[in-house]
Structure 1
Amino acid sequence: MDLDEKIKEWDENVYNKWISKRKERKAKFVTPSDIEVRPLYTPLDVKDFDSVGFPGEYPFTRGIYPNMYRGRIWTIRQYAGFGSSEDTNNRFRRLLEAGQTGLSMAFDLPTQLGLDPDQELAYTEVGVVGVSMFHWKEMDIVMNSIPLDKVSTSMTINATAQELLSMYIATAESRGIDKKVLDGTVQNDILKEYIARKNYIYPPESSMRYAIDLIEYSYKNVPKWHPISISGYHIREAGADAVLEVAFTLADGIEYVRKTAERGIPVDDFAPTLSFFFAGYTNVFEEVAKFRAARRMWAKIMKEMFNAKKADSMSLKFHTQTGGAELTAQQPEINIIRTTLQALAAVLGGTQSLHVNSYDEALALPSEKAAKIAIRVQQIIAHESGVTETVDPLGGSYYIEWLTDEIEERAWKVIDRIESMGGMMKAIDRGYPQAEIAESAYRIQKRIEEGDMVKIGVNMSYEPDWIGTTEVFRVNPSVRERIIQRLKSYKENRDQMKVRDSLNSLRRAAEGNENLLPYVLASIKSGSTVGEISGTLREVWGEYREAIIF
């Protein structure tokens, strides 16, 4: 009897007879991305085992390295930063002592939007959701007693990414460290800001020039640095499902590669430095399939669209952060369970770097205790679970392989539509990704409110009298005045002529076509602030105002 006949026989004589007497929990089972899940998967559901391949070989479905975590585990990179530079340095050093292996720096909104702490729009947000970083000597304080030539530092910064990388370089060089040995990442993904996160400054064309300038400068001058982290995380957190997260992220990647290659830079020269950033959500199998599909799709994109030759150019290297939007303020301690599953999915999916959200992040910035527990989650998965001992342990699962194929097929359709519009820049102008995310967010929220998508503690097992002992961390507001006073001191004790000349040079470069980063770096070294540099670029490029899309 053929396999398909055996399956039909099982379906009719075993499965259907069983459920006719014992009803299932739902009429239809679907993933968060609205992919229907059947009760059983078999070899007949796997389209092409050749596309699965082997780890470390094209198309990298099973991982970008031959031995993955048998060699070394992912970088444990907890996202942190708040208040003053001293506060953030203290938190970094404590997390490193607790087992963190890479730094991930959060910046306050004024820094992200190119405003100095003493500007009126910035005042109430100074140091609130990240560290205030307005002058390169603040970076020196943040990295006090931390060896820049040995640690890998990721900076979540976009519209002011050149300024922050320049601060890092200036800090390193002040310590006699060559920028060529610096290792880390700046996010520098401005497209996802227009799509989802909204922390942009300049119009899209100018912002893309700014981002590509950073990529070009870095591969030539800071070769170990990843000059962009193409970020699906914020797209997912804004309400996109897993399919849209993959599709929009890779479409953004296509746009960055295309724009960089248009400068005459060979793809294989810069593509190996590109990195990605995805969310890790709680539906374990969908997330694992998502990561595998994204890796395979990127390999095909680089090989077939851009004619990349190096394996490293086709390898999708990515950081994962567990799902902040999936955390609940209700019964916050059970978020530890959610983030453990999310982190496990990221590891089973082959991540290179991982941040686990702290259980209290639905309430406030993480407390030190919660951040240390998040590190312990990673350590237990790495050293106690056994999932790191073989490569791609879910590879070959009929369900996983089918779901990987299904996500890939759906994501290609979205990418094809974006390409038919002329690429992601044109799609953003038309409001396509924004509208798709809004529709996805509405669909998911409706499922939660109707109880179809269970959220423990919210629409199931809700306990209004739940008594928690959650410590809520708050930034001391007195920090703001100390930061502003230090900014005043910096401005009073610098060479004003050098500042003025460097900003004038930056203005002329912005009006022309030169790479901006050397001018931004010179301005930073002269003592210019983030607000002054961004202000200069605002004068030349203007500010972006998003069109209202209904």
Structure 2
Amino acid sequence: MSNDKVKADLAAYEAKVEKAIAKFPERANIPKQRIYTPLDIQNTDYADEIGFPGVYPFTRGVQPTMYRGRFWTMRMYAGFSTAEESNKRYRYLIESGATGLSCAFDLPTQIGYDSDDDISEGEVGKVGVAIDSLADMELLFDKIDLGKVSTSMTINAPASVLLAMYIAVGEKQGVSADQLKGTIQNDILKEYSARGTYIFPPRPSMRLITNIFAYCSKNVPKWNTISISGYHIREAGSTASQEIAFTIADGIAYCEAAIKAGLDVDAFAGRLSFFWNAHNNVLEEVAKFRASRRVWAKVMKERFKAKNPKSWMLRVHTQTAGSMLTAQQPNNNIVRVALQTAAAVMGGTQSLHTNSRDEALALPTEDSVMVALRTQQIVACESGLADVIDPLAGSYYVEALTNKIEAEAWDYIKKIDEIGGAVSAIEQGYIQKEIQDSAYQWQMDVESGAKTIVGVNKFQVEEKPVEGLLRVDASVGVKQKKHLAELRAKRDNAAVKEALIALEKACKDEEENLMPHILTAVKTYATLGEICGVMRSVFGEYVAHVNL
């Protein structure tokens, strides 16, 4: 059918629409354009912009056969209380069919403090597992073969320390560093703009990240050295386009820093990974995944002149949207997570964590976690969504929306380039302000009723308090303090002191890679707080400022 015929038929259709609207007015606050036709994608070049799975620009996926060969890695984000308690949950998940672990750390660990520090009081083990030293990491992975499991660690400012602990545990198990598989989030820029668990200022933080890139490229080659995270940017309130634009801008900054440090782009780019949010609007999310792969492929090939096709691939871990879970009618969250899972799978994720129904209220119970894991397994094995690659390709709407999100992302990336890159844009508050404005608009739409959240601002019911929630006992902090006191009493404190002095000296030499020094300190059972304390003394601490 020619475009002229489509235009004529569209005009006739619109005339019928006017009559229909007179009888049944359309809902407010929905997209203005009601249908999409070949006219909306007439300028799309299939070969250059869509193509085939596993082929540049990877719009349709990074692997030629995607899930027809093997399913995505089914990770379940877990960690709470002590290392012993989290170890039990990890082993339960593996026995239930999880194919990868995703570690959640408590707030003191995330910001580099030991459990016995005054600032940690009341937070030990609450939002994740408390890891104070190599001894805790040994307990966390007790009876879990690091040579067989793939582990993702959601840790940023002290990422180098936690990675060193993981490497040391592997060695104790007889698994060499070059056999370890997993991902460390290690994405500090989004902490400044969206999340807040930073320690050091941006410039020394970027040094730590590039040190990890260099060290792992030689010593831990199967490890993904960074998970550049749009998830938290979206959780903070960004739009889909902002999520990929600001995240890819961060990725550009990391690449530039690594190249400036003397690394060849093809030596590290293949181990970069991304972390996307799977939000509620299913079709928009599918388009977002597709657009993000296309943008990154062009960035790596055209801007950084990467020659290895693996360097062009945007490989992504996904988590369903925690901010979209509601405390009201929590069983509704099962449906939300199922739709978000479907979006991530149709979008072509490489691994996935599904949130649990009760996470708006507390850390999830084992029963809730099982439902979340089974959601992935049902989508994988029963829905048919994993049987065909990029099943929504060719949809007039999805292709047009992919193009639209890509164009919006490029506009933001261009603006950030003009400011001087992601670090400068964060230092000037530009990215933070854009996210804040989007979050404010979302909240205003919910409060006005322009946006419906089922059970929150519409379809409410009287509810009894939810029973059976998981609670972390305050005694966890007491236990961790006791363990730390015992550790400090029995370790070789002279060796600890020597390792920390060497680390401090290395921190002052900007040419020195800090990873070997951190690994040495970890092996002496120096604590996380002691190691981060040395780096604080040299690098200082970041203090946020607000641009209104």
TM-score range, shorter chain: over 0.9
SS class of match (1:547): coil
Q: C-alpha offsets along residues 151-170 of structure 1, whole Å, 9 cap, x if unaligned?
A: 00000000110110010111
Structure 2: which 5+ runs fail to align? none
| 1:39 partner letter | R
SS class of match (2:212): helix
Tell me the residue number matched to 1:14: 16
SS class of match (1:147): coil
- Paired with 1:7 and 1:410, the residues of 2 have a C-alpha distance of 30
Tell me the residue number matched to 1:33: none
Shift of 1:470: 4.7
Counterpart contact for 1:148–1:172, Cα < 8 Å: yes
Aligned pair partner of 1:492 in 489, 494, 510: 489
Tell me the residue number matched to 1:457: 455
SS class of match (1:77): strand
Tell me the residue number matched to 1:475: 472
- Paired with 1:245 and 1:201, the residues of 2 have a C-alpha distance of 23
Q: C-alpha offsets along residues 171-221 of structure 1, whole Å, 9 cap, x if unaligned?
A: 111122111000011100000000000100011101111111111111111
Shift of 1:468: 6.6
Q: C-alpha offsets along residues 467-526 of structure 1, whole Å, 9 cap, x if unaligned?
A: 475521101222221111111111111111110110000001000020100000000011
Tell me the residue number matched to 2:30: 29
- Paired with 2:5 and 2:238, the residues of 1 have a C-alpha distance of 37
- Paired with 2:399 and 2:355, the residues of 1 have a C-alpha distance of 28
Tell me the residue number matched to 1:512: 509
Q: Which aligned pairs between 1:248-327 and structure 2 lie closer than 5 A?
A: 248-327=246-325
- Paired with 1:168 and 1:78, the residues of 2 have a C-alpha distance of 18
Shift of 1:19: 1.8
- Paired with 2:93 and 2:465, the residues of 1 have a C-alpha distance of 25
SS class of match (2:122): helix
- Paired with 1:470 and 1:76, the residues of 2 have a C-alpha distance of 28
- Paired with 1:381 and 1:175, the residues of 2 have a C-alpha distance of 35
- Paired with 2:423 and 2:467, the residues of 1 have a C-alpha distance of 43
Once superposed, what is the RMSD of the aligned Cα atoms? 1.1
TM-score, reference length from structure 2 = 0.97
Shift of 1:450: 1.1
- Structure 2 residue 401 is matched with structure 1 residue 400: no
SS class of match (1:486): helix
| 1:451 partner letter | G
Counterpart contact for 1:332–1:470, Cα < 8 Å: no
Aligned pair partner of 2:206 in 200, 205, 208: 208
Distance 1:215 1:317, change over 3 A: same
Q: C-alpha offsets along residues 410-458 of structure 1, whole Å, 9 cap, x if unaligned?
A: 1110000000111000101110000001100001111111111110001
- Paired with 1:398 and 1:152, the residues of 2 have a C-alpha distance of 38
Q: C-alpha offsets along residues 271-294 of structure 1, whole Å, 9 cap, x if unaligned?
A: 000000010011100000001000
Aligned pair partner of 2:166 in 165, 168, 180: 168
- Paired with 1:478 and 1:468, the residues of 2 have a C-alpha distance of 25
| 1:358 partner letter | S
SS class of match (1:473): coil
The percent identity for this pair of structures is: 50
Structure 1: which 5+ runs fail to align? 31-35
Tell me the residue number matched to 2:40: 45
SS class of match (1:279): strand
- Paired with 1:72 and 1:547, the residues of 2 have a C-alpha distance of 46
Paired residues in the alignment total 542
Shift of 1:228: 0.4
Q: Which aligned pairs between 1:145-164 and structure 2 lie closer than 5 A?
A: 145-164=143-162
Tell me the residue number matched to 1:86: 84
Counterpart contact for 1:54–1:62, Cα < 8 Å: yes
Q: Which aligned pairs between 1:65-464 and structure 2 lie closer than 5 A?
A: 65-463=63-461
SS class of match (1:332): coil
Tell me the residue number matched to 1:59: 57
Larger CA deviation: 148-157 vs 262-271: 262-271
Counterpart contact for 1:68–1:350, Cα < 8 Å: yes
TM-score, reference length from structure 1 = 0.97
Counterpart contact for 1:137–1:171, Cα < 8 Å: no
Counterpart contact for 2:184–2:227, Cα < 8 Å: yes
Counterpart contact for 2:210–2:261, Cα < 8 Å: no
